[in-house]
Amino acid sequence: MIRFVFIRLLRAFITILAVVTFAFVVLRMSGDPAQVMLGPDVPQDAVDAFRKAWGLDQPLWIQYLAYLQSIFTGDFGVSMRDKASALQLVLERIPATLQLTLPALVLKLLIGIPAGVYAALHRQSIIDRGVIMLSILGFTIPSFVMGLLLVLIFSVSLGLLPSGGQDTWMHGLLPTITMSIGGIGILARFSRSAMIEVMGQPYIRTASAKGLKWPDVVWQHALPNAAVPIVTIVGFMVGSLIAGAVVVESIFSWPGIGRLLVVSVANRDLAVVQCILLMIAATMVISNLIVDLLYGWLDPRLRGQPAH
């Protein structure tokens, strides 16, 4: 078990380091922050002074080593646009993002998993076909299309809900629903497939043959075994909470991390963009690490398998 945990921790560290390196290189290849911040008509002397002040005149490898040293000491840089701590700017936006992502995650779990399980237990019924159709529709429509459709229906046509902002709890309904629909469809489809596979196993037939009541067969034997693969998709959803908010927050003008990322990329605010990408990567890696550890706890046979 110690070797199992060590390999997963090492893999998580390497993944985060790879994401940090990739983001660092790509951001500096995508354009000069000095030109974006100062404008095209600024004299070259001012541009050179700006680049020197922010260390952009140094060779790329020196900038990279300095960046690694700073993040390992807890310094995530200063925003070129706001002249404030990048980490502080990101932390200020987290509550707004959590106001959308956490309710959306709860809706995914409360609707998606029960719908998939119910459809599997009533296979080939009208309800099963309806769940399949709605789940496919839910996770195939892009979030930006779904968001615009909801705004068109509930804000423009019916006038029931606001189309943007964060003033009241009603402003959060449309973005929360937009973020949850795709996940509900994925969880419903995945839960249905997992339950159908488990229900066909010999131990389910054995439990039924022993006279165990059908609800007990489902709750004591089918659901616990079907839950093992479902943990994977739930872990992925938890890890992608922040990343999934980027498009939705932009559509609904929600002042969270996702919208801050879009604005910072447009302004080439390197420190803020790097801080957000590092947070997204760390969230996804940590959630996947927890899933791996849960796998090892739920199924001891996986502890001896090599990491992929």
Query: Would you state the pLDDT for residue 296?
Result: 60
Instruction: Flag whether pLDDT at 284 surpasses 90.
Output: no
- Confidence band of 308 (pLDDT split at 50, 70, 90): very low
> Is the per-residue pLDDT at 260 higher than 60?
yes
Per-residue pLDDT, 307:
45
Q: What radius of gyration do the chain's Cα atoms show?
A: 24
The string of DSSP codes covering the chain is -HHHHHHHHHHHHHHHHHHHHHHHHHHHHS--HHHHHH-TTS-HHHHHHHHHHTTTTS-HHHHHHHHHHHHHTT---B-TTT-SBHHHHHHHHHHHHHHHHHHHHHHIIIIIHHHHHHHHHTTTSHHHHHHHHHHHHHHHS-HHHHHHHHIIIIIIIS--S-SS-SSSGGGGHHHHHHHHHHHHHHHHHHHHHHHHHHHTSHHHHHHHHTT--HHHHIIIIIHHHHHHHHHHHHHHHHHTHHHHHHHHHHHTT--SHHHHHHHHHHTT-HHHHHHHHHHHHHHHHHHHHHHHHHHHHH-GGGGGSPP-
Average pLDDT, the chain: 83
Q: What is the pLDDT of residues 114-164, one digit of tens each?
A: 999 889 888 888 988 998 898 888 888 888 888 889 999 998 888 888 888
Amino acid at 307: A
pLDDT at 306 over 50: no
| pLDDT at 247 exceeding the cut of 60 | yes
Express as a percent the part of the chain with pLDDT over 70. 95
Task: Give the residue-averaged pLDDT of 163-191.
Answer: 88
Q: Span 240-249, mean pLDDT?
A: 82
53 confidence band (pLDDT: 50, 70, 90): confident
Lowest mean pLDDT among 152-161, 186-195, 235-244: 235-244
Distance in angstroms (rounded) separating the CA atoms of residues 92 and 20: 22
What tokens does 213 get?
């009541």
Cβ neighbourhood burial of 157 (10 Å; 0-12, 13-18, 19+): exposed
Q: What is the pLDDT of residue 1?
A: 62
Residue 41's pLDDT is 75
> pLDDT value at position 139?
81
The stretch 45-58 carries a mean pLDDT of: 83
In this prediction, residue 297 carries a pLDDT of 61
Q: Which residue has the higher pLDDT, 306 or 235?
A: 235
Q: How far is CA 277 from CA 93, 132, 222, 263, in A?
A: 14, 34, 39, 14
End-to-end CA, the chain: 17
Q: Which of 11-15, 38-42, 167-171, 281-285 has the lowest mean pLDDT?
A: 38-42
The yes-or-no verdict on residue 221 having pLDDT over 70 is: yes
Cα of 266 vs its chain's centroid, Å: 21
Give me the percent of the chain exceeding a pLDDT of 90.
13
pLDDT at 248 over 70: yes
Would you state the pLDDT for residue 302?
52
User: What is the mean pLDDT of the segment spanning 106-111?
Assistant: 92
Q: What is the pLDDT of residue 115?
A: 92
Q: What is the pLDDT of residue 210?
A: 79
